[in-house]
Amino acid sequence: MENCIFCKIVKGEIPSTKLYESERVIVFLDINPIEKGHALIVPKLHWSNLAEVKLDTEKEIETYEELMYVMRVTAKAVISTGIADGANILQCNNACAGKTVDHLHFHVIPRYGKEAVAVPAFNSGAVKYEEGEVSVITKKLADAIKKIIQEEDLL
């Protein structure tokens, strides 16, 4: 899609803080994080929402399978690195559900033991990184994602 911000990130037209990238999926840090380490898992195929996912071709099936797998791996990485005690996985369909980018994506939101669980307000920019913190978190998560994928040997 020509004006889709995530399609532009996929094409390298807009920079992102990448945690993982394959030919089908990209994972990067959210620019308005709810918590430090808040990641987005995005298919490189443009599907507007979950209801529009087509599984008619081998490429579509492989993309969807890898998207689900990498979402799980990213949540596992958030917890295994000690960045957080747990993670919410959130996916919104359409603007009425809080979706702000019309491209299917999943949020992996780090959570900490004493928080109340609530649907977060997107684009609140509630959390700001300290200087150098993005680099540290990016390296931890990217390394953990790579390690988990290698250990599980499923891709």
What amino acid positions are annotated as catalytic residues? 105
Residues constituting the chain: 155
- The full DSSP string for 34-103 is SSTT-EEEEESS--SSGGG---SSHHHHHHHHHHHHHHHHHHHHHHHTTS-SEEEEE---SGGGT--SSS
| CB-CB neighbours of 106 under 10 Å | 22
Beta carbons within 8 Å of 154's beta carbon, 6+ residues apart: 69
Which tokens hold the place of 19? 């945690």
Neighbouring CB atoms inside 10 A of 120's CB total 18
